[in-house]
Amino acid sequence: MLSGLLIGLFTVLIYLLISARRKRQHLPPGPTPWPVIGNLHQIDKSAPYNTFTELGEKYGSIYTIFFGWKPTVVLYGYDTLKEALVGQADDFSGRAILPVFERIARKKGLVFSNGPHWFHQRRFSLATLKNFGMGKKSIEERVIEEAKFLVEIFKECNGKPFDPSPEVTAAVSNAICSIVFGDRFDTQDKTFQTLHKMINENLTFLGKRGFQLYNAFPEILRWLPGEHNKIFQNAAMLQTFLRGLIDNHVLTRDVNCPRDFVDCFLNKIDEEANNPSSHFTLESLTMTTFNLFIAGTGTTSSTIRWAIKFMLEYPEIQKKVQDEIDQVLGSEKWPSLEHRVSLPYTDAVIHEVQRYASIVPNGLPHAALQDIKFKGYTIPKDAQIITFLHSALYDKKYWNKPEVFNPDRFLDENGKFVKNEAHIPFGAGKRSCIGEALAKTEIFIYLVSFLQRFNLKFPPGERGPIGLIQGGTRDPEAFNICAEWRH
171-221 pLDDT tens trace: 988 888 888 888 888 877 788 888 888 888 888 887 777 888 888 888 998
Q: What is the pLDDT of residue 14?
A: 53
Please check whether residue 404 lies inside any domain of the structure.
Answer: yes
Give the dihedral sign, CA 253/257/261/267: positive
Flag whether pLDDT at 133 surpasses 80. no
Q: How far is CA 188 from CA 60, 235, 387, 449, in A?
A: 49, 22, 37, 21
Q: How confident is the model at residue 10 (pLDDT cuts 50, 70, 90)?
A: low
By the 8 A CB rule, do 173 and 296 touch? yes
Give the C-alpha separation, 480 to 470, whole Å. Answer: 19
User: Is residue 72 domain-resident?
Assistant: yes
| pLDDT greater than 60 at residue 380 | yes
Would you say residue 2 has pLDDT above 60? no
CB 309 within 8 A of CB 269: no
Residue 37 within a domain: no
**Predicted confidence (pLDDT) at residue 137 exceeds the cutoff of 70:** no
Task: Tell me what pLDDT residue 179 has.
Answer: 87
Q: Which stretches within 253-341 are classed as H helix?
A: 261-271, 282-295, 298-313, 315-329
Band (pLDDT 50/70/90 cuts) for residue 454 is: very high
pLDDT, the chain, mean: 90
Q: Is residue 405 part of a domain?
A: yes
- For residue 111, what is the domain's CATH number? 1.10.630.10
Residue-range definition of the domain harbouring residue 454 = 49-485
* Claim: this prediction has a pTM higher than 0.85: yes
Q: What does the radius of gyration of the chain's CA atoms come to, in whole angstroms?
A: 24
Decide if 20 is inside a domain. Answer: no
Q: What is the pLDDT of residue 397?
A: 97
pLDDT mean over 119-145: 83
Alpha carbon 296 to its chain's center:
9
Compute the distance between CA of residue 12 and CA of residue 212 in angstroms, rounded to an integer: 25
Whether residue 287 lies inside any domain: the answer is: yes
More confident residue, 1 or 118: 118
Whether 487 has a pLDDT exceeding 90, the answer reads: no
How many domains does the chain divide into? 1
Given pLDDT bands bounded at 50, 70 and 90, which one contains residue 139?
confident
Which among 253, 250, 259 has a CA at the least distance from the CA of 286?
A: 250
SS3 assignment, position 187: coil
Q: What is the percent of the chain with per-residue pLDDT over 70, rounded to a whole number?
A: 93
Q: Is residue 2 part of a domain?
A: no
User: DSSP class of residue 466?
Assistant: P
pLDDT-derived band at 24 (thresholds 50, 70, 90) equals: low
Would residue 35 count as lying in a domain? Answer: no
Q: How far is CA 78 from CA 72, 75, 299, 348, 427, in A?
A: 18, 9, 21, 20, 11
Per DSSP bridges, beta strands 377-379 and 384-387 are: unpaired
Percent of the chain residues past pLDDT 90, beyond the cut:
65
